[in-house]
Structure 1
Amino acid sequence: MQPINNSKLNMKKIYFISICVLSSLFVQSQSWRNIGPGAGSDLHFVVIQPDNKDVIYAGGDIEGIFKTTDGGITWNNINNNLAQLTYGTTYWINHIRIDPVNYQKVYICTGTGLFVTNNGGQNWQLLYPATIDSISNPPVLTSDIAIDSENTNRLFLGLGDETSDCSMADYLPFNAYDGQWGVYRSLNGGVSWTLTSNGLPDSISVHTIEVISNSDTIILSSNSGVFRSDDGGNSWIPKNNGLPHNNIHEIIVTNDFGSYILTLSLKTLGDITDSTTFNGGIFRSYDFGDSWDDITGNLPQYDVYDSMFYDYWKFDILPDDPSVIYTATNRGSGYYQSGIYATYDEGTTWDLLYTPQIGGWIDSAWFWDGYANDIKFAPSDPSRMVISLIDIEISNDTGYTWNQVFTTQVGNAWKGNGLELMNTESIAFDPINENKSYIGYDDMGLFRSDDNANSFIRLDYHQDPTFDNLSDIDAVKEIYIDPVANNNVYVERFQGSQGGYLEGWTGGGIVFSTDEGVSFTDITGSMPNGRHDIAVDFTSGTPENRIIYSAVFHNGVYKSTDNGNSWININTGLGTDAQYAWDIVINPNNNQEIFLALNSWGLNSGALYKSVNGGTSWTKLNSLAQGDVSKVYINNLGDLYAGVSNSFELSTSGGLYRSTDGGNTFTKIFNYPRIIDVQVNPYNPNFLVIVAQPWYNVTSQQHGIYLSDNNGSTWSLISQNVNHTFFNFARFNPNKPEQIYAGTGGGGLWVCDSIANITYKSELFYDNKFYFYPNPVINELNIVCINAKNEETKYEIFTIEGKNIKELVSKDNNLIISTNDLNKGIYILKITNKFITNSYKFIK
């Protein structure tokens, strides 16, 4: 609701009514649902429970760990208490191992440390390192763990980062590893550990480690070759005779009736301009690594059409028959002959069985890359096979046919079955159709839901679409829907949070749709490509002719008065600070008042600027604490919020600040190093929601989503029941104000259906005499006058152009005006009696 400037009116303090009943315990009982179309991000590891082919675990680099107990019909994110840890990169999975005796005991090697569950993933316990609490006790990259099947208390833990090393083919030697390195041994189930790295080279990154049961022999693969210990890990000897180089992906030890066979995958190295320089493939040893035989055979080596080699990372061996090996081309390999290959004669010949097609909403016309990150036989039924890529696929006939197990079609939309993997950047709710919403994903683009977020329609025509002059924009940042013409949608496209960072935010722009996202036009125009953050003035002009502001990181601020057909640079007063333009908002009560957040990524140039003349000039708000401003937000009351950190690159201090006087003064209302989203409930401004993002730091304060029900005086964590807490945003649903949607950086979209009993009658009112609801209106406008009993009041509705289209006089203090006869648009409601003469905007 937006007051109109009127010389006859003296706008007084804005008050609000809270007609809602709240429990002081509401924050302890929040229930969240994980929703979306399913899949859409790389899973690097799968493991199948030895006695039950339907129990499958899967993990990736940003998602954490998932589990199915019904063969993929449904999946559950089982990060559970891992999601509440206040340190590190716990979602980075390097290996998953099931205890060979107790199948409820599962180990995961992560970017933070080694964790174990004793109950199939219901909760997790840190095993190594013993403590993570500060710079002196930092997280540790753990890569693999070997468990002695004859004595499961005997464990060997390798440190390193197999996922970073191996998950993308680049035909170059492994990079040097600069983390904590070595092999650690425990003889008491992980209670204590001993470093056993004598003979291993400095800075070794262990990839896989295997222990020969009931013996002192341990084998490992690494970025420095194969090593064997014959004395329980006390000393190590390199075992690389016969290998063309020492860049080893993975090693598997097979017990063939008492004889041990070692099989490994060798990273492909070579000069892509010369197909004869292929150096990689599959190798085998029958003497514990003393010598190695090349069994690559006729596996494809070079794609002549794309000038790329083929790399083979993961493979598996058929239980009880070591002559049968299945492998898959790695991501980054050539395309022409990519897929799943099988040999039935120990590598003499290999057959192409299947080229992954994925399926569901990820059809081959939209995305195609025939790699697989992992491949596994089910030990209890080898006809069951599982592969992972950006989804999970299952075969029940030893790899001849495959089916996706992540989504179900609902009409022309898709509903995920719990395997929600995507980095979710944004959501927008249709202001007219409460069942419609838009979701923006990193890498996987734009989706729309027409059924209240039950199922999702993919809108991008290709995984990396091109719109006119815009390319390299597979990610969606923010989405804006015209409240008058809800078929009009504005979308910020960019390279993604990780891709943009790596590429220096050089790609991206703005696209506009007039058909609910079915098709788009590039309206970036003369502005430079890059990371755009826009603010659309929906109170100006008409649909398809709005005023738009765009903050372009590295380039400054731009303005269009004709819906993006032309742009002008509006950086007067910003000086060199213009290059740090990051976030921009319009005051909903005064469209000439614009606020610009600057983010210098730790260069001590972050700030907040204000314009009172539509961007013609800017003034720095020196009253705000110094630092990078990651988020700026202003609510309908005119309250201004800013998330500030000492450094956006490495946030160690900061907080949420609020100004109630247009930025003249600020008060810190929440202390946390990295606040990246804030929103006020549209129906009750007492309710605020914020996102405190971890950003891979060790901190004593819990990250997650915080809620205040008293205008920021106190806060409560409400994300304890979310199993992925690297949040990108949290937003109230304006159509259901008790509902919050939250997007995560690898766990998809989550929704809490009821944060509290917030009723639709929690509305703003002015001068202690008047309020109305809802706004936007659908069929009826409810008006309540306070302290004006039996007072004759005149109600008038005008078009935005000033034409009087509806008028009535009533002494009823609770009035309902039908709006069925109004077209979609912006209107002015004028109320006149002896107590009040005010005009307000509302939207139909």
Structure 2
Amino acid sequence: MVDFFVFDPKDPKTMYAHATALWRSTDGGESWDVVYPSAASIKGVRMNSDHSDEIILADPDPLGTIAAMAIDSTDSNVLYVSAGNKESSALFVSRDYGKSWQKQADLPERPQAMWVDPSSTPEKRALFLAGQKAIMVASSSGVHSLPLPTAANEVSLGFGSEAQSTIYASSEQGISISTDGGAHWHNSNLPGAGSKVRAIATSMRHPEIAYVSYDHLKLDGKTWIGVAKTSNSGGEWKLVWKEDQSAAKNVHDAWITERFGPGWGENPLAMTVAEQDADLAYGTDLGRTMRTSDGGATWTALYSRKVDEAGWTSRGLDVTTSYGVHFDPFESKRMFITYTDIGLFRSEDGGESWMSSTAGVPRDWMNTTYWVVFDPKVRGRMWSVNSYTHDLPRPKMWRHNSPLNFKGGVCRSEDGGKHWTRSNVGMAETGATHILLDPTSPVDARVLYAAGFGRGVYKSSDGGRHWSLKNEGITQKEPFAWRLARSSNGALYVVIARRSEDGSLGNSGDGALYKSTDGAEHWQAVALPEGTNAPNGLAVDPESPERLYLAAWARASGEHGDGGGIFLSEDGGKNWKQVLEKDRHIYDVTIDPADPKVLYATGFESSAWRSIDRGLSWTRIPGFTFKWGHRVIPDPQDHNKVYITTFGGS
């Protein structure tokens, strides 16, 4: 994940990005080289946390973690960074393009942004650094701290024709502005009453112009969200983006407002304004990237575009989580993607365009569709599992909330996913994460199994109309039933996700794997590989029901994490051997439906894998470097094509 970008003021092709390390590109982002830590000092990468977050291990490491950066306005070889640790922060300078660094001054707090004062001379260069509590001005004579009137959420600064910089700060108390470099401050109010402000941004060269995102603004008997603009340094504000329950005529959104309404994305979380052109500004919220090029008169969505009036396609800026790509067995061009935040999406043209496909799903379940299953004998009939709780089984979702509070369940469609009806009589509200159909069951009495996260395994023998909890033999309290699998001989498996995150092993927080040979009436534990307590996915060889492939998540111990990877059993789980150890946060293993010798896997370590010998050896798939992979899905119609779903970025 990129923390910030910085662009060279002298060379438009040179840019810097901080993502675990500080990186530089000199070809417009086509390729990148590490600047800090130096390549020679890097000894390894720690990534044992649940998200496999990367921490570079370097020796020596005189800077620590870089928080903000600026490039000298006249000399691109001169770089400034604020860096340190949780306890202290300092200003460092490099005068040789990042090869070496010298500490210039200690800082009273960790800055969130940094600017070079272009009016200062190279010999007496002045920098402005924005913290939460103060503006710090650093020069050759030291660091001078100017307190902010209140703790700031965001600070933006610009240098215009005036001698001093203009600074904008947003906080829980509202907008504060200084037109003399932070020496004095005054409050600035939006029209109406009760507004809460969030992101704020000004133009580096035109600081009299600024934009701020707001919500809870009461005016004319309504409550508004949107963006306000000032053209006179906060003397007055105009509501240039103003929406309540209806879409604003000057806001030209893509599919989000059309499907969920104008309030779904909220007001922008972040904003930026072009340095030289204050009419050009961008805002990003919970699902959209919006742009104005006319000073806020109109706003246009950048994240998606319409395709021949049929549906929408991404421009690469749609960022959410996907779980599976699903192919209708009767309609060759009908596909589905199961998503977090936006539910189920459907394509009728082989993936060229997409549309929301959650009509009829209860509103409290609409956030996430975890999986769908088709009736292989009945055209148009399918089932989905849905939940208001997204991103399971990640601990952030259950760390502070009992899974018994999760909302969700099963829905059924008879028209290929265009419309849905709730179908969960007998099933308690649950984070329903997986559904499996027994293809040998009668067409008029389909047997289905559903995983309820925190509830266990549910079974239906009448096509999903009624459900019963089937947990006999499962010993976990509030079992985190996550995934289901069925072998060709009818054996069922359920993956119980781990409910601990401290690296421990051998306690009540361990995950588990269970097997049933009588249609979920009874379950028997299947021993996990030694040192493993977080099964995350299971695949069963369709030609050899005793051959199991287990995807496992690492424990938070050791440098890389222990107990994760891919494991193979050739005797139904009695014995296991590790067949992929290089990646230890493996989300799932999938088998190519056209060739059971071919398997795929991915996880949270920037790679995807392929095996052509039934899992005995694995080769990394070139080109896929996204950090958080979920699942590799082979295309049933094109043996050379696979899809990879991801956690974020999809």
TM over 0.5: yes
SS in 2 for 1:526: coil
State whether structure 2 residue 203 is matched by structure 1 residue 317: yes
Give, in whole Å, the separation in 2 of the partners of 1:96 and 1:358: 27
Q: Normalising by the residue count of structure 2, what TM-score does the alignment of the two structures yield?
A: 0.84
Contact 1:254 1:261 in 2 (8 A): yes
Give, in whole Å, the separation in 1 of the partners of 2:87 and 2:320: 28
Deviations 1:530-565 (A, max 9, x none): 332334334244446321222322222222212333
State whether structure 2 residue 293 is matched by structure 1 residue 396: yes
Gaps in structure 2 of 5+ consecutive residues: 47-54, 59-63, 243-247
Counterparts in 2 of 1:23-102, with a 5 A limit? 91=1, 93-102=2-11
Paired position in structure 1 for 2:49: none
Give the superposition deviation at 1:300.
5.1
CA 1:339 to 1:662, structure 2 compared with 1: closer, same or farther past 3 Å?
A: same
Give, in whole Å, the separation in 1 of the partners of 2:642 and 2:307: 25
Q: Normalising by the residue count of structure 1, what TM-score does the alignment of the two structures yield?
A: 0.66
Paired position in structure 2 for 1:809: none
Aligned match for 1:281, one of 153, 169, 175? 175
Quote the sequence identity (%).
Answer: 19
Give, in whole Å, the separation in 2 of the partners of 1:416 and 1:519: 23
Paired position in structure 1 for 2:76: 152
Paired position in structure 2 for 1:829: none
Paired position in structure 1 for 2:618: 715
Give, in whole Å, the separation in 1 of the partners of 2:198 and 2:476: 49
Aligned match for 1:653, one of 563, 572, 577? 563
Aligned match for 1:736, one of 625, 638, 642? 638
Paired position in structure 1 for 2:151: 246
Paired position in structure 2 for 1:691: 602
Contact 2:201 2:273 in 1 (8 A): no
Contact 2:198 2:212 in 1 (8 A): yes
State whether structure 2 residue 253 is matched by structure 1 residue 359: yes
Paired position in structure 2 for 1:590: 489
Counterparts in 2 of 1:796-815, with a 5 A limit? none
Contact 1:482 1:538 in 2 (8 A): no
What letter is aligned with 1:340? V
Give the superposition deviation at 1:732.
0.9
SS in 1 for 2:397: helix
Give, in whole Å, the separation in 2 of the partners of 1:577 and 1:310: 42
Deviations 1:676-697 (A, max 9, x none): 1111111212211111322xxx
Counterparts in 2 of 1:235-274, with a 5 A limit? 235-240=142-147, 243-256=148-161, 259-268=163-172
Give the superposition deviation at 1:578.
6.1
Give the superposition deviation at 1:386.
3.3
How big is the alpha-carbon RMSD for the aligned residues of Structure 1 and Structure 2?
A: 2.9
Give, in whole Å, the separation in 1 of the partners of 2:354 and 2:367: 17
State whether structure 2 residue 474 is matched by structure 1 residue 574: yes
Aligned match for 1:443, one of 323, 337, 341? 341
Give the superposition deviation at 1:221.
1.2
Aligned match for 2:309, one of 411, 431, 438? 411
What letter is aligned with 1:239? L
Q: Which has the larger Rg?
A: 1
CA 1:228 to 1:544, structure 2 compared with 1: closer, same or farther past 3 Å?
A: farther
CA 1:318 to 1:250, structure 2 compared with 1: closer, same or farther past 3 Å?
A: closer
What letter is aligned with 1:679? T
What letter is aligned with 1:476? T
SS in 2 for 1:597: strand
Aligned match for 1:485, one of 362, 367, 378? 378
Contact 2:45 2:56 in 1 (8 A): yes
CA 1:590 to 1:727, structure 2 compared with 1: closer, same or farther past 3 Å?
A: same
CA 1:218 to 1:455, structure 2 compared with 1: closer, same or farther past 3 Å?
A: same
State whether structure 2 residue 432 is matched by structure 1 residue 532: yes
CA 1:157 to 1:99, structure 2 compared with 1: closer, same or farther past 3 Å?
A: same
Counterparts in 2 of 1:417-566, with a 5 A limit? 417-461=315-359, 467=362, 471=364, 473-494=366-387, 495-497=389-391, 500-501=397-398, 503-505=401-403, 506-543=406-443, 545-566=445-466
State whether structure 2 residue 557 is matched by structure 1 residue 663: no
SS in 2 for 1:576: coil
Aligned match for 1:345, one of 217, 222, 232? 232
Contact 2:21 2:34 in 1 (8 A): yes
CA 1:132 to 1:105, structure 2 compared with 1: closer, same or farther past 3 Å?
A: farther
Contact 2:288 2:318 in 1 (8 A): no
Deviations 1:470-497 (A, max 9, x none): 6154122122122112412222213211
Paired position in structure 2 for 1:217: 126
Deviations 1:633-669 (A, max 9, x none): 2132123211123438994332212223333333322
* 650-659 or 675-684, larger mean C-alpha shift: 650-659
Structure possessing the higher relative contact order (Cα contacts under 8 Å, 6 or more residues apart): 1
Number of residue pairs matched by the alignment:
596
Gaps in structure 1 of 5+ consecutive residues: 1-90, 161-176, 269-278, 303-308, 695-702, 749-844
Aligned match for 1:633, one of 539, 544, 547? 539
SS in 1 for 2:565: strand
SS in 2 for 1:114: strand
Give the superposition deviation at 1:124.
1.5
Paired position in structure 1 for 2:52: none
CA 1:579 to 1:623, structure 2 compared with 1: closer, same or farther past 3 Å?
A: closer
Give, in whole Å, the separation in 2 of the partners of 1:490 and 1:159: 52
